[in-house]
Structure 1
Amino acid sequence: MGEPELSRLDRDEILASLRRMRLLQSATPQIVPLTGGVSSLIVRVDDAGHRFCAKSALPKLNVSADWRVPVRRNRAEVDWMRTAAELVPGAVPTILGQDVEGNMFAMAWLDPDRYPVWKHKLLAGEISIETARQIGAAIGHIHSVTSEKPELAAQFDNGEDFEALRLDPYLRETAKRHDDLGKQLSAIAHRTARTRLALIHGDVSPKNILVGPDGPVLLDAECATWGDPAFDLSFCLNHLLLKSVHMPARAMVLLESLAALLEEYLSRVTWEPVAEFEARAAALLAALALARIDGKSPVEYLRSNEQEMVRDTSRALISRPPTRLIDVVTPFKEILA
Structure 2
Amino acid sequence: MSTHLPAEVLDALRRMGLVGAVEIPAATALTGGVASDIWRIDSAGGAFCVKRALARLKVAAEWLAPVERNVFEVAWFRAARAEVPSAVPELLGHDPEAGLFAMAWLDPSSHRLWKADLAAGVADPAVAWAVGDRLGRIHAGTAARPELAADFATDAIFHAIRLEPYLEAAARAHPDRAEVLTALVARTAATRWCLVHGDVSPKNIQIGPDGPVLLDAECAWWGDPAFDVAFCLNHLLLKTLWVPNAASDLLASFDALWMAYRSRVDWEPVDAVDARVASLLPGLFLARVDGKSPVEYLTNEADRDRVRQMARAWLASPFDRLADLRADWTREIGG
TM-score > 0.5 by shorter chain: yes
Distance across 1 between alignment mates of 2:281 and 2:112: 26
TM-score in terms of structure 1 length: 0.96
| 1:228-267 Cα distance to aligned partner (Å, 9 max, x none) | 0000000000000000122222111100000000000011
Residue equivalent to 1:309: 306
1:254 pairs with 2:250: yes
Distance across 2 between alignment mates of 1:308 and 1:4: 40
8 Å contact kept, 2:52–2:70: yes
The alpha-carbon deviation at position 5 of structure 1 amounts to 5.6
The partner residue of 1:326 within 295, 298, 323 is: 323
The partner residue of 1:293 within 277, 286, 289 is: 289
The partner residue of 2:18 within 13, 17, 23 is: 23
Residue equivalent to 2:48: 52
8 Å contact kept, 2:115–2:202: yes
8 Å contact kept, 1:4–1:34: no
Structure 2 SS opposite 1:301: coil
8 Å contact kept, 2:121–2:245: no
Distance across 2 between alignment mates of 1:249 and 1:47: 43
8 Å contact kept, 1:293–1:299: yes
TM-score in terms of structure 2 length: 0.97
The alpha-carbon deviation at position 4 of structure 1 amounts to 7.5
Residue equivalent to 2:70: 74
Matches within 5 A, 1:94-113: 94-113=90-109
Distance across 2 between alignment mates of 1:267 and 1:125: 27
Structure 1 SS opposite 2:37: strand
8 Å contact kept, 2:50–2:100: yes
1:220 pairs with 2:222: no
1:167 pairs with 2:152: no
Moved more, 48-57 or 181-190: 48-57
Distance across 1 between alignment mates of 2:207 and 2:216: 15
| Letter matched to residue 125 of structure 1 | G
Matches within 5 A, 1:147-226: 147-226=143-222
| Letter matched to residue 93 of structure 1 | P
1:277 pairs with 2:273: yes
| 1:187-234 Cα distance to aligned partner (Å, 9 max, x none) | 001100010110010000000000111100000000001010000000
Moved more, 231-240 or 41-50: 41-50
Residue equivalent to 1:84: 80
| Letter matched to residue 12 of structure 1 | A
Structure 1 SS opposite 2:42: strand
Structure 2 SS opposite 1:90: helix
| Letter matched to residue 79 of structure 1 | A
Moved more, 22-31 or 308-317: 22-31
CA RMSD of aligned residues (A): 1.1
Distance across 1 between alignment mates of 2:45 and 2:181: 51
Moved more, 51-60 or 243-252: 243-252
| Letter matched to residue 249 of structure 2 | V
8 Å contact kept, 1:21–1:98: yes
The alpha-carbon deviation at position 277 of structure 1 amounts to 1.4
| Letter matched to residue 184 of structure 1 | V
8 Å contact kept, 2:3–2:27: no
Distance across 2 between alignment mates of 1:247 and 1:254: 9
Distance across 2 between alignment mates of 1:292 and 1:28: 41
How many positions carry a matched residue from both structures? 332
Percent identity at matched positions? 51
Distance across 2 between alignment mates of 1:267 and 1:41: 37
Q: Which runs of 5+ in 1 are unaligned?
A: none
Moved runs in structure 1, 4+ residues, more than 6 A?
none
| 1:88-136 Cα distance to aligned partner (Å, 9 max, x none) | 1111110000001101100000101111110011010111111000000
Structure 1 SS opposite 2:86: coil
Distance across 2 between alignment mates of 1:252 and 1:101: 47
